[in-house]
Chain A
């Protein structure tokens, strides 16, 4: 009794729900598998495979067969079924979280006996042509020569051809032609071919290459962290003009009075008084007047230096923008990702 309960629990554990299908035998096989009736599942799956099935039904039928044979410990038959499954859908594999380790071990054994390329993937990327690349990753089930190609738009470019061991690998594609120009925009097929003697397996995915202009750099209005200094500064108001006027007027007035000839009638000295008064008024007016701004030589030189440096940087930016305007921004996307 205890053994039967344990067997039942184990069978429940290895049974995993499978997706609902169109073909009646596939549905029956799936129902039988879910009911832990592995023999019934095998019978119905075999019947289904004798009929015209869609791709998804065929995958599910071979999967039920592989799982059921593995569950019944019919290893070779399970391996055969998994081979069919792997050829049909290399990326489909048992979920280690939900199926029995026995099934995954048989699946891995089946996988190691045949040559396939799985999990072919292209990471979408945008980069300036010639300055970046896009990552392509894939798994091969056995040691082989892996040839990675991109075909389309009249091009057939071999990106990589190398001997690789079983496992995950990656290559980087610069999306340029042999001459270094960016590949034309459009649809391409990325194909990873694994070749081992007479065995060969190809894993294609569709990709799209788009072109766009590269953003140019803004010209600078000022140097970051530096600012121009005032070239003219208005000095503070002072009485120097009046002082100069008093000095000059005093000197001349004193001299002329001192030089007067006492033998002559000097009159009222109104000429001296008039011009002296005007001179003093001018001195006073220039003293109370807001002084004129005066150039600050150090600031002028500093600003000239800043402008020269700014001009140099803008020239460099202009040259860089000339270069950028000739560049192309490439975006490489896998079609599957676009559909998602």
Chain B
């Protein structure tokens, strides 16, 4: 997590000057999510906030997102918990609508061990298409490399897909953005399947500079 924040700060520091076109956006939004773990009985739902940083410079891109949510279980057997997550993605556009993307992510829960904290690398593809001059839609798919869990174990299959849409003003100063993200991590500990699954929707506004 610390590494992600440091990388984001560095990219912002060396980013374009304020005189250039809107290549930097800051955003804030609300989220709703469902988190499932271990078995059919462990499912949490909740709401929270997220913040985004979006930077584009020539063919390079950077997306940094932080999430904070309070999750409630649908069973009285487990307790409520708070989730804190940070994601960082760096992209390089190979053709106008397609970019390769790499990054890191980390998700933690409070109280400790109420759910699995996980950290991972990601490698994937981002495709973004304009719907009009003021709107665009994008989709992501990534493989999560070598997830690490605080409870131990490893994962055979770890993937994520996401969908986003943004509509803003023609000068790029203001944009409304909605994102959906799905994550599946097939965790296995000592031959026992303890899968993790996350489904998250965010909606927020962004200001461009």
Contacts and interface: CB of A to CB of B under 8 A. Distances in A.
Interface of A: 241, 244-245, 248-249, 251-253, 255-256, 259-261, 263-267, 269-272, 274-276, 278-279, 282-283, 285-286, 289, 291-292
B199 A256 contact: yes
Given A248-B138, A279-B137, A256 B161 contact: yes
Nearest to A249: B163
B137 A282 contact: yes
Contacts of A251: 139
Contact of A241 (B40, B127, B131, B182): B131
Contact of A271 (B36, B39, B199): B199
A291 B132 contact: yes
B129 A269 contact: no
Contact of B180 (A252, A283, A285): A252
B133 interface: yes
Task: State the majority secondary structure of interface residues on A.
Answer: helix
Nearest to B179: A275
A245 B197 CA distance: 25
Contacts of A278: 165, 178, 203
B93 interface: no
A279 B41 CA distance: 32
Interface string B174-194: 000011101010100000010
Given A249-B163, A256-B180, A278-B203, 11 more contacts: A248-B129, A248-B137, A252-B162, A259-B159, A264-B43, A272-B201, A282-B131, A282-B137, A289-B132, A291-B132, A292-B134
B72 to A, nearest CB: 13
B200 A265 contact: no
Nearest to B38: A264
B33 interface: yes
Contact of A252 (B32, B163, B170): B163
A252 B161 contact: yes
A71 to B, nearest CB: 105
Interface in B137-175: 137-139, 141, 159, 161-165, 167, 170
